[in-house]
Amino acid sequence: MLPFFLLRYREFGVLISVLAIAGAFSALSPRFATLDTASSVLTITAEVGVVTIGVAFLMIAGEFDLSVGSVFAVSGTLLAYLVAMGVPEYAAAALVLSAAAAIGLANGLITIRTGIPSFIVTLGMALFLRGLLYAATGGFPVSYKGEVLPVVFAERVGDFRVSGIWFLAVAILFYFLLHRSVFGNWVYATGGNRHAAKAMGVEIERVKLVAFMLSALMAGLGGIMYVSRFKIVEPVVGLDLPLEAIAAAVIGGCSLMGGIGSIIGAALGAALVGMTRVGLVLVGAPAYWYITFIGIILIIAAIINTRLSRYA
């Protein structure tokens, strides 16, 4: 028996989707089922995946974060700036992650104190940060001058990049936090029925604040991983990321209403996004089709998940 409660069927849905799409791409391109492709998929999955896991965690707690794309871009850019100013790379990374968490805290505080839906608060935060980023960079890419973080976050080890290990570590950590810890039980309860949670003494505001911070923190980590790989960051990076991450989370079985979802599902959803991006390139489809394709998968996955949840 699987050790996961209630997610047995929901993860089954995304697993089927992942296998179906892998099968389709393998049939269409002989280069898909290779180690090289697996490496590319894992690299993209890792960056989208850490963000998706944070977003999924927050969604399960009952809130949204549309600012992850801007936090991703701001984090990468800020890191490049700090290192260019002579800040040691680890210290710069720590500062960037703290800044990301602080943005998450702001998202959370505004949402909780005002009662405005987090959808709106984080949309506002996304626009605010993106505008700041355009103003600070003048719209030009910023290059990364450091040499330590690219090794830590994006070095090639054999056929794969070390970012895959970071993704795995984040997934395992969040798995234990959400499914095995006391706090995780509060997260589910807060998203599933906040009145019940509150009545049972769960401090739902604090639970949500932490979830907002973790979501932003993971977006910041994603941004650091991205700039470590490319050593340059454009101010438009991550524009589609919030919707990609939410799509991946929903594909992975998260409910938009909160209280339902899993880390393994979210990770598989991110893998599906990564596979689609790489696979479409391999089969020679124009890059524009990617988002269209994700849209179709999202709707199909949501239908499958709804059907499956009746048997959960």
Partner 1 sequence: MPEPLLYAKDIHKSFGPVAALRGVTMAVGRGEVVGLLGDNGAGKSTLAKILVGLYRPDRGELYFEGRRVNFRSPRDARMHGIEIVYQDLALVEDLPIYRNLFLGREPRRALGMLDIEAMKREAEKLLREIGINVRRPDDIVRRLSGGERQAIAIARAVKFGAKLVILDEPTAALSVKETEFVLDYIGRLRDRGISVIFITHNIFHVYAVADRFVILEHGSKIADLEKRCVERPETIVDIIAQRLRPDQVGC
Residues that bind partner 1 (CB under 8 A): 5-6, 176, 180-186, 188-189, 192-193, 195-202, 259-260, 312
Residue among 80 and 189 whose Cβ is closer to partner 1: 189
Residue among 40 and 190 whose Cβ is closer to partner 1: 190
- Cβ within 8 Å of residue 160, ≥6 positions away: 38, 39, 42, 43
User: Smallest gap, in angstroms, from Cβ of residue 243 to partner 1?
Assistant: 25
User: Smallest gap, in angstroms, from Cβ of residue 10 to partner 1?
Assistant: 11
Residue among 8 and 231 whose Cβ is closer to partner 1: 8
Distance between CA atoms of 299 and 297, rounded to whole angstroms? 6
Residue among 151 and 173 whose Cβ is closer to partner 1: 173
Distance between CA atoms of 93 and 38, rounded to whole angstroms? 28
Residue among 113 and 195 whose Cβ is closer to partner 1: 195
User: Smallest gap, in angstroms, from Cβ of residue 267 to partner 1?
Assistant: 20
- DSSP string over 184-221: HHHHHHHHH-HHHHHHTT--HHHHHHHHHHHHHHHHHH
User: Smallest gap, in angstroms, from Cβ of residue 179 to partner 1?
Assistant: 9
3-state secondary structure 228-270: HHHCEECCCCCCCHHHHHHHHHHHCCCCCCCCCCCHHHHHHHH
φ/ψ of residue 222, rounded to 5: -60, -45
Q: Do residues 77 and 233 make contact, with C-beta atoms less than 8 angstroms apart? A: yes
User: Smallest gap, in angstroms, from Cβ of residue 205 to partner 1?
Assistant: 12
Q: Do residues 129 and 66 make contact, with C-beta atoms less than 8 angstroms apart? A: no
Please report, as a single letter, which amino acid is at residue 213: M
Residue among 257 and 296 whose Cβ is closer to partner 1: 257
User: Smallest gap, in angstroms, from Cβ of residue 177 to partner 1?
Assistant: 9
φ/ψ of residue 36, rounded to 5: -60, -45
